[in-house]
């Protein structure tokens, strides 16, 4: 199972909207096949592990093999496993996909295959959090990220924020950008920084770029903005009231423009997250700025927080890392669960889970 988990980790985020799964086939005490899910539309991990044509054996798989359902594009893995004469299947986690949820295991057992569930469940669930949340709730998994001074400032009063943290912290952020499905920022950040919003782990442009998402209710992003000319796709969320000529100019510059309701505080985040789900987005790396992170926390949309903290102080003139989030009393502050703390060069990375959702581990 550890090898199956490693195979899954190797394709994390590259298979959306499908889950990243790993599978290992063992016969006579030897590993005879290893597989990980191919990008959307390609073979699943189980099919790849079975591709050697070996019959029988034990298959270790990080997520329940899929069962048939209408509209399915690949052979259901449970059927492929039965056809291959596999005698025993060890499954880490039951699938949260409502069209499968236990039916894959049932099908195997009906065919006389011995099935064991739960080995490696906690690790598989941690690895598959974005997929599990999206399938259980219909909403993407949101990671709030900010790079702040010790007193929680992400930019100077004039908007300048380059750079608050050092190279190691920025490299870590690029590694994260490289596996998520979308990077999200507000118009304040897009206008102040004119960012590229590309994933460049190790300084090189990643082959697969996350969808860039800008929240821009008043239609202020320039069609000349740097991010519009970068590899990968850009989605600009705006309001119904935004200027039609501006929308056309953005579409001409290659952006997809999506309209959401705009209440006084900003664009309706439920609608935006729904629109991103429809586009197959499982995970969102929300980079700010403060206003957008505040709204995301206030709406209960944030599942995980990554705070890169520099050993510096800016004072109250700077921009707050998280804007108004609806916290009235100290006791109501949003606390992180299962925290980890790392030192990255001179900076600290504090991260943990937030929000109401946690994966169910059987
Ligand atoms: N150090 C860091 O990690 C970091 C990261 C990012 C940004 N920054 C800095 O942060 C500063 C920008 O932060 P900011 O707080 O001023 O701006 P922001 O959060 O980037 O953008 C805020 C704007 O987004 C739009 N928006 C649309 N829907 C929204 C919603 N539901 N909730 C909130 N905003 C929504 C609003 O403009 P409309 O009304 O036009 O829609 C709002 O004014 C810049 O100086 C940037 O350099 C630092």
Portion of the chain with pLDDT greater than 90, in percent: 92
How far does residue 34's CA lie from ligand 1's centre (Å)? 44
How far is the C-alpha of 103 from the C-alpha of 112, rounded, in Å? 14
The verdict on whether 46 is a catalytic residue reads yes
C-alpha dihedral over 183, 334, 188, 137, to 10 degrees? 40
Q: Is the dihedral of CA 126, 346, 348, 306 positive or negative?
A: negative
How far does residue 179's CA lie from ligand 1's centre (Å)? 23
- The 10 Å Cβ neighbour count of residue 360 is 12
Query: Three-state DSSP class for 268?
Result: coil
Q: What are 249-284's pLDDT values in tens digits? A: 999 999 999 999 998 789 999 999 999 999 999 999
Q: Which domains does the chain have, with CATH numbers?
A: 2-127 (3.40.140.10), 139-353 (3.40.430.10)
- DSSP character string of 132-197: HHHHHHSS-EEEEEEEEETTSEEE-TTS--TTSS-HHHHHHHHHHHTTSSEEEEEHHHHHHH----
How far is the C-alpha of 84 from the C-alpha of 139, rounded, in Å? 36
- The band of 362, judged by pLDDT with boundaries at 50, 70 and 90, is low
Give the mutation target among 188, 295, 319 for probing the ligand 1 site: most ligand atoms within 8 A of CB: 188
Q: What are 30-50's pLDDT values in tens digits? A: 999 999 999 987 899 999 999
Portion of the chain with pLDDT greater than 70, in percent: 100
How far is the C-alpha of 355 from the C-alpha of 90, rounded, in Å? 31
Which segments of the chain are extended strands (E)? 22-27, 30-36, 58-61, 88-91, 114-117, 141-149, 153-155, 182-186, 211-215, 234-239, 256-260, 262-263, 266-267, 283-288, 304-310, 319-320, 337-344, 347-353
Opening angle at CA 261, ends 258 and 267, nearest 5: 80
Q: Which atom of ligand 1 is nearest to the CA of 148?
A: 1
How far is the C-alpha of 241 from the C-alpha of 258, rounded, in Å? 12
How far is the C-alpha of 16 from the C-alpha of 38, rounded, in Å? 10
How is residue 353 written in tokens?
Answer: 């889970």
What is the model's pTM? 0.96
How far does residue 236's CA lie from ligand 1's centre (Å)? 14
């Amino acid at each position: 199972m550890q090898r199956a988990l490693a195979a899954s980790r190797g394709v994390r985020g590259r298979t959306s909207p499908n889950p990243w799964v790993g599978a290992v086939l063992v016969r006579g005490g030897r590993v005879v096949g290893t597989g990980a899910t191919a990008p959307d539309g390609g073979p699943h991990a189980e099919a790849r592990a079975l591709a050697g044509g070996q019959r029988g054996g034990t298959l270790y798989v990080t997520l329940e093999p899929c069962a048939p359902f209408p509209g399915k594009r690949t052979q259901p893995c449970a059927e492929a496993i039965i056809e291959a004469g596999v005698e025993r299947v060890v499954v880490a986690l039951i699938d949260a996909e409502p069209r499968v949820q236990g039916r894959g295991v049932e099908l195997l057992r009906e065919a006389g295959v011995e099935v064991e569930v739960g080995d490696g469940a906690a690790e598989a669930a941690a690895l598959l959090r974005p997929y599990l949340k999206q399938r259980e709730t219909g909403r993407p998994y949101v990671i709030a990220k900010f790079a702040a001074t010790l007193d929680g400032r992400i930019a100077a009063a004039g908007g300048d924020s380059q750079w608050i943290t050092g190279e190691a912290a920025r490299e870590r952020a690029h590694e994260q950008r490289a596996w998520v499905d979308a990077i999200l920022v507000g118009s304040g950040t897009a206008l102040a920084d004119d960012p590229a919003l590309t994933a460049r782990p190790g300084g090189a442009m990643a082959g697969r770029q996350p969808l860039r998402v800008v929240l821009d209710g008043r239609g202020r992003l320039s069609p000349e903005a740097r991010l519009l000319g970068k590899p990968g796709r850009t989605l600009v969320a705006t309001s119904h009231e935004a200027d039609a000529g501006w929308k056309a100019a953005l579409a001409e510059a290659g952006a997809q423009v999506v309209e959401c309701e705009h209440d006084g505080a900003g664009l309706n985040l439920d609608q935006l997250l729904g629109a991103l789900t429809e586009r197959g987005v499982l995970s969102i790396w929300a980079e700010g700025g403060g206003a957008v992170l505040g709204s995301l926390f206030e709406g209960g949309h944030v599942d995980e927080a990554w705070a890169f903290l520099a050993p510096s102080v800016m004072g109250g003139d700077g921009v707050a890392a998280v804007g108004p989030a609806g916290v009235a009393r100290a006791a109501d502050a949003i606390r992180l669960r299962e925290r980890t703390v790392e030192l990255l060069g001179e900076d600290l990375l504090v991260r943990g889970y937030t929000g109401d959702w946690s994966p169910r581990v059987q």
